[in-house]
Amino acid sequence: MRIVVDTNIVFSAVLKSNSRIAKIILQSGTRLNFYSTDLLIHEIQEHKLKLQKLSGLSNINLDNSISLITRRIRFIDAELIPNEIFHLSEELLKDIDIDDVEFVALTEHIHGKLWSGDKALQRKLAIKNWKKFVSLSELSAMIK
């Protein structure tokens, strides 16, 4: 299964490397394939000081945690997503959260599922009949 991970999922995994979220990402030998765009790396770098403060990790340990998690994610250049998919995603998200366009567009492009902890995003997209989310409990069940 192709899973697009958004920033809040990766932040959670980095902050708590023994959490269910991190264990799912780090679990080897599963049929789960994780994807994201370079936006994720940009957002990690942008919020690195905050991540360090919240985690209490040293700079080296935080870098190691980030590396451990991001090595399990295949990064796709957002420019490879066809313009029509990108524009449909922008239209879908224009009144919700435009910052999530790349994640939704990538989900559409790879025919995957989006893993996000953003409940408001999930609820608002469900109202628009976009139901391509996967939950923590669904993923947990898949790796058991």
How far apart (Å, rounded) are the C-alpha atoms in residues 86 and 75? 17
Q: Are 93 and 113 in contact (CB under 8 A)?
A: no
Cα gap 114→36, rounded to integer Å: 10
> How would residue 59 be classed by pLDDT, with cut points 50, 70 and 90?
very high
What is the per-residue pLDDT across 62-111, written as a single tens digit (0 to 9) for each?
A: 999 999 999 999 999 999 999 999 999 999 999 999 999 999 999 999 99
pLDDT tens profile 2-23: 999 999 999 999 998 889 999 9
Q: In CATH, what class is 2-142? A: alpha beta
Q: Which tens digits make up the pLDDT trace of 110-124? A: 999 999 999 999 999
- The CA-based angle 14-17-21, given to 5 degrees, is 85
- Which residues, 6 or more positions from 82, have their beta carbon under 8 angstroms from its beta carbon? 109
Burial of 6 per CB tally in 10 Å (0-12, 13-18, 19+): buried
Q: Are 30 and 65 in contact (CB under 8 A)?
A: no
pLDDT at 42: 95
Q: How far apart are CA 46 and CA 44, in angstroms?
A: 5
- Predicted TM-score (pTM) above 0.75: yes
